[in-house]
């Protein structure tokens, strides 16, 4: 099976040729652990988990090494600790636990390695020392800065020159910088900030050096795939390339770079100010199953902006229910060849889902299950949500009475009451569909009888 991937660095779709087919290596930038993961954070997890599954299918389960880090030293974490009076370790341990629980609910496999930045401080110090020795970094006023103009290829990933970056970006001005674009490798810590002893004084690492040091230790100086969100392309990934290539010029760092595009909600950028910001846990607590979230995230190609809508979630829920009913008690066969071919063409998850529809329509339940599981769908441990108990007589009678009350409110032009009932049904988990012959209803996962009773 040939896998083709669009390499951000070369801007072309390339045939994937691993350095060592017996040890395919992939690194994905992980979260800064100070709060719950929002839906945008979940997109790269689901997308590159699917790539991990595909690589395991093609090269063998034991032949793929996947590393995804936790950034557990950061000023946001320090600020959260100062504001709450809790220790940094307490906050990061709790947040990592949340992250695992939420990503597990989305059907994501745990990576082979999940390094914490604070476990690799010594390796970061060593790499910084190498960069200074080779003339790519300098110490100044307790800081160590990477000298961007010492690396001629800086900007190749994002396709911009250093002068263009200076003109078009906001850069931190500091008297100890030789050039506005130089970035921090090490910075001093005060008495209350976390810090480690180093040749340049007590301090802590800059953000970018973390991934360079951890990927080198876990995957080597050269590995196959580096991935993450498009928001990391510059400056984080650009800076990683500079650090790693200058530390190990004989290697070349990552061969293929993959970036997933951003996520919107109902056609708008997700933002707290717009009131459309929510975490993965928010969705799960509202009764949206993790498998449904995963399906929606995979329904758009990773390199295109993805729009989360309630309608897409409802459609995904209906589709997965039908597929699970078809697949009940069925042992999976081999994955469908056409499905694999489509998915292998730059991780075309949207096309792969279309192939799953084809298999379902043909009644090929065994092929459907085997293929869907490479997308992380129809997994045995994610299916409880799809079985919803039927309503008892009391609930049925109450719903019918409330539907009649809604009809009467509409006739009386009491639209406030009619709208309140409509919204109340949705909040309680009653799905109502108006048809030419009357209203049809069903119970959604997370149905809440008490919310329904409150509508009386």
**CATH number for the domain that contains residue 100:** 3.40.50.620
pTM of the model as a whole: 0.84
As a whole number, mean pLDDT of residues 264-268 equals: 93
Domain that holds residue 292: 263-386
Helix, strand, coil shares, percent, the chain, to 5: 50, 20, 35
Q: Are residues 198 and 315 in the same domain?
A: no
Q: Are residues 444 and 382 in the same domain?
A: no
pLDDT score of 98: 97
Q: Are residues 114 and 236 in the same domain?
A: yes
Number of domains within the chain: 3
Q: Are residues 52 and 89 in the same domain?
A: yes
Q: Are residues 366 and 217 in the same domain?
A: no
Q: Are residues 253 and 271 in the same domain?
A: no
Helices and strands (H, E) in the chain, number of each type: 16, 15
391: pLDDT confidence band, cut at 50, 70 and 90?
Answer: low
Q: Are residues 64 and 202 in the same domain?
A: yes
Burial bucket for residue 441 (CB in 10 Å: 0-12, 13-18, 19+): middle
pLDDT score of 77: 94
User: CA–CA separation, 180 vs 170, rounded Å?
Assistant: 10
Helix 238-247 / helix 121-133 crossing angle, nearest 10 deg: 70
Domain termination residue (choose one: 366, 386, 406): 386
171: pLDDT confidence band, cut at 50, 70 and 90?
Answer: low
Percentage of residues in the chain with pLDDT exceeding 90?
Answer: 82
166: pLDDT confidence band, cut at 50, 70 and 90?
Answer: low
- Contacts with 129 (C-beta within 8 Å, 6 or more apart), sequence order: 199
Q: Are residues 211 and 274 in the same domain?
A: no
Q: Are residues 250 and 366 in the same domain?
A: no
pLDDT tens for 116-137 read: 999 999 999 999 999 999 999 9
Q: Are residues 237 and 371 in the same domain?
A: no
As a whole number, mean pLDDT of residues 412-428 equals: 92
pLDDT score of 434: 82
pLDDT surpassing 90 at residue 62 = yes
Is 67:215 a contact under the CB 8 Å cutoff? yes
**DSSP secondary structure code for residue 233 in this structure:** I
Is 224:26 a contact under the CB 8 Å cutoff? yes
CA nearest 189: which of 88, 257, 272?
Answer: 88
């Amino acid at each position: 099976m040939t896998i083709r991937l669009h390499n951000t660095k070369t801007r072309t779709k390339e045939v994937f040729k691993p350095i060592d087919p017996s040890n395919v290596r992939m690194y994905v930038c992980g979260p800064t652990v100070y709060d719950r993961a929002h839906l945008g954070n979940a997109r790269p997890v689901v997308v590159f988990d699917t790539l991990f599954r595909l690589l395991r299918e093609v090269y063998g389960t034991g032949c793929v090494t996947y590393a995804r880090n936790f950034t557990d030293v950061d000023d946001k974490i320090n600020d959260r600790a100062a504001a709450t009076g809790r220790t940094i370790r307490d906050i990061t341990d709790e947040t990592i636990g949340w992250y695992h629980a939420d990503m597990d609910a989305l059907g994501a496999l745990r990576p082979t390695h999940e390094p914490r930045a604070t476990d690799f401080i010594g390796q970061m110090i060593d790499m910084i020392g190498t960069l200074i020795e080779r003339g790519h970094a300098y110490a100044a006023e307790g800081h160590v800065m990477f000298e961007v103009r010492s690396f001629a290829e800086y900007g190749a990933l994002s396709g911009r020159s250093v002068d263009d970056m200076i003109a078009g970006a906001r850069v931190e001005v500091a008297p100890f910088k030789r050039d506005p674009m130089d970035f921090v490798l090490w910075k001093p810590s005060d008495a209350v900030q976390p810090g480690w002893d180093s040749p340049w004084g007590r301090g802590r690492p800059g953000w970018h050096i973390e991934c360079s040091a951890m990927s080198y230790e876990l995957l080597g100086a050269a590995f196959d795939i580096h991935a993450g969100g498009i928001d990391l392309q510059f400056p984080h990934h650009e800076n990683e390339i500079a650090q790693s290539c200058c530390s190990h010029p004989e290697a070349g760092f990552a061969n293929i770079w993959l970036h997933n595009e951003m996520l919107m909600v109902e056609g708008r950028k997700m933002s707290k100010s717009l009131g459309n910001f929510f975490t993965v846990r928010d969705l799960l607590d509202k009764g949206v199953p993790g498998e449904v979230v995963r399906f929606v995230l995979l329904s758009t190609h990773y390199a295109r902006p993805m729009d989360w809508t309630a309608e897409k979630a409802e459609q995904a829920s209906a589709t997965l229910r039908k597929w699970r009913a078809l697949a009940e008690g069925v042992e999976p066969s081999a994955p469908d060849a056409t499905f694999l071919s489509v998915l292998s063409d730059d991780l075309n998850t949207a096309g792969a889902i279309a192939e799953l529809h084809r298999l379902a329509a043909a009644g090929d339940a065994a092929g459907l299950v085997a293929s869907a599981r490479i997308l992380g769908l129809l997994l045995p441990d994610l299916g409880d949500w799809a079985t919803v108990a039927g309503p008892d007589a009391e609930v049925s009678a109450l719903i019918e009475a409330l539907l009649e009350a809604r009809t009467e409110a509409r006739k009386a032009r009491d639209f406030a009451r009619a709208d309140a009932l409509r919204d109340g049904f949705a909040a309680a988990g009653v799905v109502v569909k108006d048809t030419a012959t009357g209203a049809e209803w069903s119970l959604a996962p997370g149905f809440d009888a008490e919310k329904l009773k409150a509508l009386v």
